[in-house]
Structure 1
Amino acid sequence: MDQPPGSPDQPAVGNGLPSCYRHPGRETGIRCTRCERPICTDCMVSASVGFQCPDCVRNGSGTGHAPAASRPRTLAGGTIAADPRLITKVLLAINVAVFIAGRAADQLVRDLDLIGLAYNPVDNEIVGVADGQWYRLVTAMFLHQEVWHIGFNMLGLWWLGAPLEAALGRARFLALYLLSGLAGSALTYLIADANEPSLGASGAIFGLLGATAVLMRRMNYDMKPVLVLLALNLLFTFTMSNIAWEAHVGGLVAGTAIAVGMVHAPRERRALVQYGTCGLVLLVTVGLVLARTAALT
């Protein structure tokens, strides 16, 4: 006998997990604590105990409160926005705008790329992070020189960023992106030759890749696709020339650590664990930068 839409026992798909009652075909291991219907990350609303579906929140089912009393929350506790991909779009637009500006003015790239310490014969001056140009650790994350470089990175940003932003919320997603990119810059600054320039959003993208693996594990999704993608990217990282593997590894480690803190934080101490994890990653990143600066000066 066919089951009506919205039945608590939705047909299982893929590896046996039920599908979300609002998004057929999307596997999930989470159920609404009120009606017991399976719900995916886009439909999960944080409740005092577990998660509720949008229908139960809207109707105030069993809560004893008016429907407006419950604010929809993402898996990580962020506010569900009307456009769950806004930050992803903004980051993509910034990267593209800086790329166009850099193609029009090569000097812009030289002024903003990541370099530890080097002599600039054009302006007869010493440049680099160790000389006080700390901003290069951040600006390098938005620079690209080749079309294929920005093309691959922006595809990764869109494919990985959009679902992550929807699952984490805007503020948490932005923190994940920026801290992953910064960690990638810091490890590059620490290990690479001081006079070797580096640029690109790859550190941040690898952070999103690590976070995606953590989120999929948390939701009991099939891990094979993301693990294969991760393996391929690491293979390219260590076999292709002119790739700053340090940025990839730094971003991956930071993004994975931040995502673990965000999606596995206990509800009663969620903010403390999430802020603490981001703060710890930032502290380690700053420590690496200070250590390298001390060694170069």
Structure 2
Amino acid sequence: MDTDRLPGCYRHPDRDTGITCTRCERPICPECMISASVGFQCPECVRGGSGTGHRPTANAARTIAGGVVAEDPQLVTKILIGINVAVFFAGLLAPGLVVQLGLLGRYVEYFGGPVQGVSTGEYYRLLTSVFLHVEWWHIISNMIALWVIGGPLEAALGRTRYLAVYLLSGLGASALVYLLSAPNAPTVGASGAIFGLLGATVVLARRLRYEMRPVIIMVVLMLVLTFVPFGGAVRVSWQAHVGGLITGALVGLGMLTPTAAKHRALVQWGTCAVVFLLAAALIMLRTAELT
């Protein structure tokens, strides 16, 4: 096996890659690669062969997962960061918002008043809690992680598929929290969804035959930070992190498994449906236990 360092992307020299454009043979990273009938092409070659540059969607350049290549490949990541930050400031102005949107197992006394949780019908909390943060360090660390992990993944998957990974990972994280946590334990934060993006990134790196050690080291490090207490003052929901990681990896497998183009959408969205149903089954199981 050749142990020499891989060449850097011609547009992003700091990013090693083993993929080259099938037309000009320049090295390209996941953010730059565009699916072609055979292999991948770079943005310049695609633009050079597109004529006017205003092609119908059916003939538009595609990402490795089959999504349409967007002019701003990180738009959804930016929007998600904006939503999280906006909700954080809204929570500072109206602390009761955290009470109404955070994930709680069932009827408990919290913030001085009675709150109904998921087992009494407020299932929207399983997703709204993913956009809530209560501390400055919490929102800052999660948004940095979302930008670093989410941006390249969005470029590789395309907007719709990337958003599906994020939301399903958040739901899977909440489902495992609901299943395994104490029923009166409040939980908030985007880290479960971000762990899901990390799980999908592992699948992407494997799909592109990248060096896996850096990605595995990142996963191990984040899991160590999840399970090893530092000072005891911060409680990390390992259930959310593990649930998100597993969910993201499962959805990523569906999105990135090599499949004939005519069956790709069926496999991808069928995987999303199965993952959603699995999360729903865990939620119903826990609800039946608590009620």
Whether these two folds match at TM > 0.5 is yes
- Name the SS for the 1:28 alignment partner: coil
1:267 counterpart = 2:260: yes
Q: Which amino acid aligns with 1:192?
A: S
Q: 2:156 aligns with which of 167, 181, 186?
A: 167
**1:253 alignment counterpart:** 246
1:285 counterpart = 2:274: no
**1:180 alignment counterpart:** 169
| Equivalent runs, 1:122-141 vs 2, <5 Å | 125=114, 127-141=116-130
Q: Which runs of 5+ in 2 are unaligned?
A: none
* Contact 1:265/1:273 (8 A) holds in 2: no
Q: Which amino acid aligns with 1:255?
A: G
Q: Which amino acid aligns with 2:107?
A: A
Instruction: Please tell me the root mean square deviation across aligned C-alpha atoms, in Å.
Output: 2.4
Q: 2:289 aligns with which of 268, 280, 295?
A: 295
- Name the SS for the 2:244 alignment partner: helix
* Contact 2:205/2:211 (8 A) holds in 1: yes
1:38 counterpart = 2:31: no
Q: 1:243 aligns with which of 236, 239, 260?
A: 236
Aligned length: 282
**1:6 alignment counterpart:** none
Q: Which runs of 5+ in 1 are unaligned?
A: 1-12
Q: Which amino acid aligns with 1:258?
A: V
- Name the SS for the 2:108 alignment partner: strand
* Contact 1:180/1:204 (8 A) holds in 2: yes
Q: 1:87 aligns with which of 76, 95, 103?
A: 76
Q: Distance in 1 between matches of 2:46 and 2:218?
A: 37
TM-score by length of 1: 0.87
1:19-55: CA deviation from partner (whole Å, max 9, x where unpaired): 3344435332223334444332233222223223334
1:118-173: CA deviation from partner (whole Å, max 9, x where unpaired): 23488875611000011111111011111111111111001111111111111111
Q: 2:91 aligns with which of 84, 87, 102?
A: 102
**2:136 alignment counterpart:** 147
**2:189 alignment counterpart:** 200
The structure-2 alpha-carbon separation of the partners of 1:183 and 1:121, relative to structure 1 and needing over 3 Å to count, comes to closer
Q: Distance in 1 between matches of 2:85 and 2:44?
A: 39
| Equivalent runs, 1:205-216 vs 2, <5 Å | 205-216=194-205
**2:37 alignment counterpart:** 48
Q: Distance in 2 between matches of 1:224 and 1:122?
A: 44
TM-score by length of 2: 0.88
The structure-2 alpha-carbon separation of the partners of 1:101 and 1:59, relative to structure 1 and needing over 3 Å to count, comes to closer
Q: Which amino acid aligns with 2:73?
A: P
Q: Distance in 2 between matches of 1:124 and 1:30?
A: 57
Identity of aligned residues (%): 55
Q: Which amino acid aligns with 1:136?
A: R
